[in-house]
Structure 1
């Protein structure tokens, strides 16, 4: 991407974070960059296109960080890699996150909403660990929810210092959190035996890729409107693996 589109995106990100997406006009963006409105439309056809270019890097990096954490194998390593990766991505895209939080209606727009929901759900799963009950799942959800708010509330705190404080808070919430779930316990919501986890690959994580037929099945299910979580469950892989498959197919 050339210099002018990069300047447009930087100005849009700052204005959206400061004023809000809906309160910022294309003319205001053009004025901030120092170009005509026509020149702005030459590079980006609409504000929606600007929003897509601003949010996709955050989503791509978040999914990648969670997929990398998931491959760690050991539940404790998975948990802390997911937490740290989550914080790193949000700090790297602080203005974009602030833009989304400032105008919460942006978080219900597809495909942004679908990908954010899936990423948060995956983060909750990784922080919680396999075979956990309602109490542990609630604790994991509290931890994940608490990773983003400080990033937008304390915008003037240097990233490295803020990261240390956020991780300290997560450790406090997870103090005494058992690594392994006791055998034979039942889920507090359904009353069913807790699952012991999906089949694992040689590295200890779920299979990182789908075979040709499985990839075709994943695409067909997604095109039929099935949610990513259900597709992942059926195929015995992570949601991140399903998203990578769909991304390469252009869906």
Structure 2
């Protein structure tokens, strides 16, 4: 059972942190608004005052990550060569995977997948990253290599067995690994 969240910060932020703790323990689908309220020691309407639904909480949790992905895409698109664009994107993906390693597990939850896929802006970001990494007219090998790099990077960052590795070392190892995986596309 998760421990109660300390009453600090804004009410909205407290709801997000309580929800994240419960999502980590029970999954998104296994967490109710009542569970979040109970963890915070407030009424369920108090939680609903901050967020209309569990999906809205999920979106609020992942929104900063998508905002950062958009920034990485803009920087990458400003690079003069496709290889420069790919290099910036790979570095950016690794940076975000490490920065958001506590949240990355959410993307393996079906409830989160549905909430994210319902957002056109989130899907556009995903498509933009894929387009940069794939390049024009990607063959099967290119598509598999980029999917492997993306999935492997985010999975490793979120792996609870790797929490003993500090962010700096994780970043260094993931970046070297991602670059090796992407070598055939260089």
Q: Place the TM-score, normalised by the shorter chain, in its bin.
A: 0.7 to 0.9
2:132 is the alignment partner of 1:126: yes
Partner of 2:75: 68
Q: How many residues align?
A: 176
Shift of 1:53: 1.4
Aligned CA-pair RMSD? 2.5
Pick the aligned partner of 2:35 from 3, 11, 28: 28
Aligned partners of 1:109, 1:45: CA distance in 2, in Å? 14
Partner of 2:90: 83
Asked if the contact 1:66/1:123 (under 8 Å) is kept, the reply is: yes
Any gaps of 5 or more consecutive residues in structure 1?
A: 179-251
Asked if the contact 1:123/1:144 (under 8 Å) is kept, the reply is: no
Shift of 1:110: 5.6
Task: Give secondary structure in 1 for the equivalent of 2:88.
Answer: helix
Aligned partners of 1:54, 1:125: CA distance in 2, in Å? 25
Any gaps of 5 or more consecutive residues in structure 2?
A: 1-8
**What TM-score, normalized to structure 1?**
0.61
Pick the aligned partner of 1:45 from 46, 52, 58: 52
Partner of 2:183: 175
Task: Give secondary structure in 2 for the equivalent of 1:109.
Answer: helix
Task: Give secondary structure in 1 for the equivalent of 2:183.
Answer: coil
Aligned partners of 1:99, 1:141: CA distance in 2, in Å? 18
2:151 is the alignment partner of 1:145: yes
Partner of 2:3: none
Task: Tell me: CA distance 1:48–1:142, structure 2 relative to 1, closer, same or farther (3 Å).
Answer: closer
State the structure with more CA Rg: 1
Aligned partners of 2:50, 2:59: CA distance in 1, in Å? 14
Task: Tell me: CA distance 1:166–1:37, structure 2 relative to 1, closer, same or farther (3 Å).
Answer: same
Partner of 2:172: 164
Superposition pairs for residues 103-122 of structure 1, below 5 Å?
A: 103-109=109-115, 111-112=117-118, 114-122=120-128
Give the structure, 1 or 2, with the largest relative contact order (CA under 8 Å, sep 6 or more).
2
**What TM-score, normalized to structure 2?**
0.79
Q: Deviations over 1:81-125 (max 9, x none)?
A: 101111222322223321231x22421336546444433332222
Shift of 1:64: 2.0
Task: Give secondary structure in 1 for the equivalent of 2:69.
Answer: helix
Task: Tell me: CA distance 1:42–1:34, structure 2 relative to 1, closer, same or farther (3 Å).
Answer: same
Aligned partners of 2:82, 2:62: CA distance in 1, in Å? 29
Aligned partners of 1:117, 1:146: CA distance in 2, in Å? 19
Pick the aligned partner of 1:92 from 80, 99, 113: 99
Task: Tell me: CA distance 1:98–1:138, structure 2 relative to 1, closer, same or farther (3 Å).
Answer: closer
